[in-house]
Amino acid sequence: MKPLLLDHPPELWLLPCSEKYRQAQVADWIFKKRASSFAEMSNLSAALRTELAEAFDLAPLTLVTCQGDGGSTRKYLWRLRDGSLIESVLIPATEALYGEKSDRMTLCVSTQVGCAYGCHFCASGLDGWKRNLSPGEIVGQILEAERQSGERVNNLVFMGMGEPLANFDSLMSAIETINCPEGLNIGARHITISTSGLAPRIRDLAHYPKQLRLAISLHGATDEVRERIMPVNKKHPLRELVDACLFYQQHKGRIITLEYILIQGVNDSLDQAQKLAQLAGILHAKVNLIPYNTVEGLPWERPPQTTVTAFAKTVQSRGVTATVRTEKGGDIDAACGQLRLKTEQAAARQE
Ligand code: SAH
Ligand code: SF4
């Protein structure tokens, strides 16, 4: 396979043309004019275009299917050059994750093929971990989603398939390209990294100079409950996670978001709500409550609306900002990893 041009930020490209302005022209074609081939780069000589096409691949992925249409949530299933499948979800402002109205166009991006962390409720980890995405495969999801939808993405959440902080170097390299003015020019404050709780990597992130947003997939307010559904808690228990979050906040001064899926009979008791409020208080964090999106083949269920409301009220009554995320993607398999899983299961049935 040829090297992927997008695997490095534009300032590190080793193009056959060494002149700076030529490099800037190529970056302009890719990130501003959204060219999908070197052949389109009409202000480069034909010889150079051929040379570039011989030296590099431009497209890291191709579209397999898109669910959803128009101004609503769209879910893209992509095929990578080695045949692996990953997903991205485009979420327009009215359906934005944090419920605020704005011109926000959010893309939920994957960072790995599969996931090694195996949270018991999640479709992404069901088949285990296959490999890390390269920086170009991360950046390519944005470019291709924009091309397919005709929209401009201005907000990114690393909440697709995979554990972003377990692919730290590729993630950071992709963020350089996403953030730099000659790249996609999306501000760090519009980029959210979600983690299941890799405490040492949260500390690494605290040393990273950009002001990225951090979301923690907590899903349990005590070790006992968290451990039942998230094996990562055995390696990095709550105490270690909370310490790492405090360290992050001291270094960054950024508000952390605690993501909390509500699963019936598992983590939806009012006792958990009180303990969640306590943790949020210690961390000065806001809380996002997400009624569980059922996954075919898994036993977990979403609690009734009355339970969700009572849980939210209990958290809020302790002075914590908590919102219930209305799940708009349920009908298009928008929960992480579900579309890929279905496609692979269908393919396996055909074999
Ligand atoms: N690995 C990272 C980022 C990807 S998962 C992490 O876990 O944070 C993105 C979010 O989707 C996580 O908060 C995850 O817990 C949540 N999620 C996974 N399966 C879900 C489901 N079936 N319904 C609702 N949320 C789900
Ligand atoms: Fe992996 Fe996140 Fe899914 Fe857990 S919730 S299995 S860490 S993608």
Task: Identify the residue with better confidence: 103 or 162.
Answer: 162
Statement to judge: residues 47 and 76 lie in one domain: no
Of 9, 32, 59, which closes a domain? 59
Residues 121 and 37 in one domain: no
Residues 121 and 270 in one domain: yes
| Same domain? 199 vs 327 | yes
* Claim to verify: residue 83 and residue 23 sit in the same structural domain: no
Q: Which of residues 26 and 97 earns the better pLDDT score?
A: 26
Q: How many CB atoms lie within 10 A of CB 174?
A: 31
User: Does pTM surpass 0.85?
Assistant: yes
- Position 18 scores a pLDDT of 79
Clarify whether residues 94 and 183 are in a common domain.
yes
Q: What is the 3-state secondary structure (H, E, C) of the chain?
A: CCCEHHHCCHHHCCCCCCCHHHHHHHHHHHHHCCCCCHHHCCCCCHHHHHHHHHHCECCCEEEEEEECCCCCCEEEEEEECCCCEEEEEEEEHHHCCCCCCCCCEEEECCCEEECCCCCCCCCCCCCCEEEECCHHHHHHHHHHHHHHHCCCCCEEEECCCCCHHHHHHHHHHHHHHHHCCCCCCCCHHHEEEEECCCHHHHHHHHHCCCCCEEEEECCCCCHHHHHHHCCHHHHCCHHHHHHHHHHHHHHHCCCEEEEEEECCCCCCCHHHHHHHHHHHHHHCCEEEEEECCCCCCCCCCCCCHHHHHHHHHHHHCCCCCEEECCCCCHHHCCCCCHHHHHHHHHHHHHC
The two tokens of residue 288 are 């996002």
Write down which residue in 36, 59, 82 finishes a domain. Answer: 59
The mean pLDDT of 222-232, rounded to a whole number, is 98
- Any idea which residue has 């964090």 for tokens? 285
163 flagged as catalytic? no
Q: How many domains does the chain have?
A: 2
CATH number at residue 213: 3.20.20.70
* CA-closest residue to ligand 2 atom 8: 162
User: 290 CB less than 6 Å from ligand 1?
Assistant: yes
pLDDT recorded at residue 296 = 86
Confidence of residue 287 (pLDDT cuts 50, 70, 90): very high
Same domain, 53 and 66: no
Other Cβ atoms closer than 10 A to 196: 26
Ligand number nearest CA of 334 is 1
Kindly indicate the confidence band of residue 281, based on its pLDDT and cuts at 50, 70 and 90: very high
Are 98 and 19 in a shared domain?
A: no
- Is residue 48 located within the same domain as residue 189? no
Same domain, 6 and 153: no
> Is residue 96 very low, low, confident or very high in pLDDT (cuts 50, 70, 90)?
very low
CATH assignment of the domain containing 39: 1.10.150.530
Of the residues 29, 59, 89, which one is the last residue of a structural domain? 59
36 and 175: one domain?
no
pLDDT digits (tens, 9 = 90+) for 302-349: 999 999 999 999 999 999 999 997 655 445 455 555 656 655 665 555
| CA–CA dist 100, 75 (Å, integer) | 21
Predicted pLDDT at 69: 80
Within this chain, do residues 213 and 90 fall inside the same structural domain, yes or no? yes
CA distance 90 to 96: 10
Q: Which residues pair with 66 in a beta bridge?
A: 76
Q: How far is the CA of 62 from the centre of ligand 1 (A)?
A: 24
Average pLDDT over residues 195-208: 97
Percent of the chain with pLDDT over 90: 81
Neighbours of 346 (CB within 10 A): 9
Q: Which residue segment(s) compose the domain that 3 sits in?
A: 1-59
Mark whether 87 is an active-site residue.
yes
159 CA to centre of ligand 1 in angstroms: 7
Question: Among 122, 232, 259, which is best to mutate for testing ligand 2, by the most ligand atoms less than 8 A from CB?
Answer: 122
The chain-wide mean pLDDT, for the chain, equals: 91
- The predicted model gives 19-48 an average pLDDT of 94
Question: Taking residues 195-212, what's their average pLDDT?
Answer: 96
Q: Is the pLDDT of residue 88 over 60?
A: yes
Closest ligand 2 atom to 217 CA:
5
From the CB of residue 19, how many other CB atoms can be counted at a distance below 10 Å?
A: 9
> Within 10 A of 124 (CB to CB), how many other CB atoms are there?
28
